[in-house]
Amino acid sequence: MNLVESIAVVFGIGSVWLNARQNVLGWPTGLINVGLYTLIFFKGQLYAMMGLQVLFFAISLYGWYQWLRGGQQHAGIAVSKIPVRLGVALAAGSLVGAAGLGWALHVHTGDQQPFVDAGVSVVSMVAQWMMARKYLETWWIWIAVNLVSVPLFLVRAEYPTALQYTVFLGLAVSGLLQWRRSLASS
């Protein structure tokens, strides 16, 4: 077991656990996780996932701010449902972005699974932004991402990361239920 990957897993699980509970400390723990995974994915030649970590870093800073100071009164934001038009636009953009990035990775890099790498990366970026905005539907997307990611990392024999995404799957279900309760009580 790789020590760096194991540390990244601990911080990743902690981050999602905290985010599911709407605890703002999920964002700084996530920053440590994405920093470590940038190195891991570079070494593993998963270039889109590596680049995704850089974007996750920026989105994590944005989410940290939104959860602390976003909203009309600058007192943080509450869980809400995504506007339908925005949801459709994000879905369409994700499809186009994943196809384009997958093609580029296939043609221009030695990426081991270019279309899976691109799909997981683009959809994860959208889901992370949705989490920063506290859209309830982010959890459905994370469930789907985790269902794809677990077998991806098992096939690559990256067992600590596969375990992390298995835990993420359970945490995504928990987050969905907790955020639904939060939305219903507001």
**Region 48-70: what's the mean pLDDT?**
91
What are the tens digits of pLDDT across the range 125-153? 999 999 999 999 999 999 999 999 999 88
Q: Are 80 and 134 in contact (CB under 8 A)?
A: yes
Residue 46 has pLDDT above 60, yes or no: yes
- CA angle 133–134–135, rounded 5-degree value: 95
What pLDDT sits at residue 139? 98
Encoded tokens for 155: 């096939």
Q: List, in sequence order, every residue forming a beta bridge with 135; answer none if it has no partner.
A: 80
Q: Are 36 and 7 in contact (CB under 8 A)?
A: yes
Residue 1 has pLDDT above 60, yes or no: no
Closest C-alpha among 101, 8, 3 to residue 47: 101
Beta strands in 107-181 (DSSP E): none
Residue 43 has pLDDT above 60, yes or no: yes
Residue 77 has pLDDT above 70, yes or no: yes
What pLDDT sits at residue 71? 85
Tell me the three state secondary structure of residue 80.
strand
Highest mean pLDDT among 45-54, 65-74, 85-94: 85-94
Q: How far apart are CA 91 and CA 52, in angstroms?
A: 18
**Can you spell out the DSSP letters for 82-103?**
PPHHHHHHHHHHHHHHHHHHHH
C-alpha Rg value of the chain to the nearest Å: 16
On average, the pLDDT of the chain sits at 93
| pLDDT-wise least confident of 14-23, 28-37, 46-55, 156-165 | 46-55
